[in-house]
Amino acid sequence: MSAHEIFAASSAATWLECSWSALNAVPEPPKKASTIAAAEEGKRVHALFEAAGKGEDVSDEDVADTIALGMSFVAQLEPAPQHYEVRIKLTDDCGGTADLYNEHPYIATVLDVKNGKWDVDAYHNKQMLTYAAGFAQHSRAEWWRLVIFQPNGLDEEPFKQWVAHRSEIEAHRLRVLRAIADRSAPKPGPHCRWCKAFQVCPAMSTDAGFVIGAVTRRVEDLTTEELVRLLRMIRALGDVKTVYEDALATHLKMGRSADGVALKPGRTWRAWNDATQAATFLMQQYGTKGVKPLSPAQAEKLGFEGKKFAAVAAHKPPGEVRAVY
């Protein structure tokens, strides 16, 4: 992201609800080691996807199948100039980098590669709409295909698509411009989850004081609004809990100490020396009771037969109704 792009397309879902979050983002918010490693792997996959799109050889065995799957989708798009890792600006302060832009004059396609497991939907995706709004300034395409390619996602389908009419893209552009011009106070909500200004947000500071009083009361006495405030704070602290635990462990390994803390090995469980050998033996001895089947998504990744079987032998049960805050 450019230093001038305060309103990055990748975080549009947050700042469209609260522009304060983008204007006051903390440069280096705490991140878990696993999050940093996943981000680095994502960069590598993006670079390989770009290289394959430009006709270069991709010999990385770990992601060769993933890249080939992505390229098979791209090959089926309408014939048009294709641009990889293309920078786009909606305004001087708002922009980002799209992984692929297929510049068809009637139905343009914007594709973004997501390497993580957290399911990302294409429908009304704010990041993708922002990319499209930027490209639409230089295109007369009437329809816009927004595609999320997420090969490692929890959703069984690696490609998620949504086709939006140009009128929807224009409406989103106006919403972006209103958000960029907004200088109002923070607006707490579900979008606070991934906020980069959480540590300095006055609304969250007020809520931190509220938590101390809320946890001393009976759960039955808390109002709906109070439960939402309390849960948002608990979740936010939980998101960075591992970061601070790792920092504390580092202090202790360096010989520093504090009352009531110590270094202890974590709990472990037995593991098979050879998982394939174990599965074969247990199958022979106990039949199907001795082997746990793969999930439908894992079976699909094994090959064509796995995909065919999952199509007729699997179902998705209704999700548990839960509060989203």
The C-alpha atoms of residue 305 and residue 299 are separated, in whole angstroms, by: 9
**pTM assigned to the model:** 0.80
Q: What is the pLDDT of residues 5-32, one digit of tens each?
A: 899 999 999 999 999 999 999 887 777 7
Where do the CATH 3.90.320 domains begin and end in the chain?
A: 29-181
Q: Are 113 and 22 in contact (CB under 8 A)?
A: no
Per-residue pLDDT at 4: 59
Q: What is the pLDDT of residues 29-45, one digit of tens each?
A: 777 777 888 888 888 88
Contacts of 198 (CB under 8 A, 6+ apart): 26, 29, 192, 204, 236
Of residues 66 and 301, more confidently modeled: 66
Lowest mean pLDDT among 30-39, 157-166, 187-196, 300-309: 30-39
Q: Look at residue 117 and give its three-state secondary structure.
A: coil
The C-alpha atoms of residue 318 and residue 325 are separated, in whole angstroms, by: 20
Q: List Cα–Cα distances, 36 to 29, 30, 97, 166, 243, in angstroms.
A: 12, 10, 20, 36, 11
Q: Which amino acid is at 309?
A: F
Q: What is the pLDDT of residues 56-113, one digit of tens each?
A: 887 777 788 889 889 999 999 999 999 999 999 999 999 999 999 999 999 999 999 9
| Confidence band of 236 (pLDDT split at 50, 70, 90) | confident
- Residue 256 tokens read as 């520093």
- Residue 146 tokens read as 């927004």
User: Whose CA is closest to 126, among 178, 77, 173, 58?
Assistant: 173
CATH architecture of the domain formed by 29-181? Alpha-Beta Complex (3.90)
Q: Which amino acid is at 135?
A: F
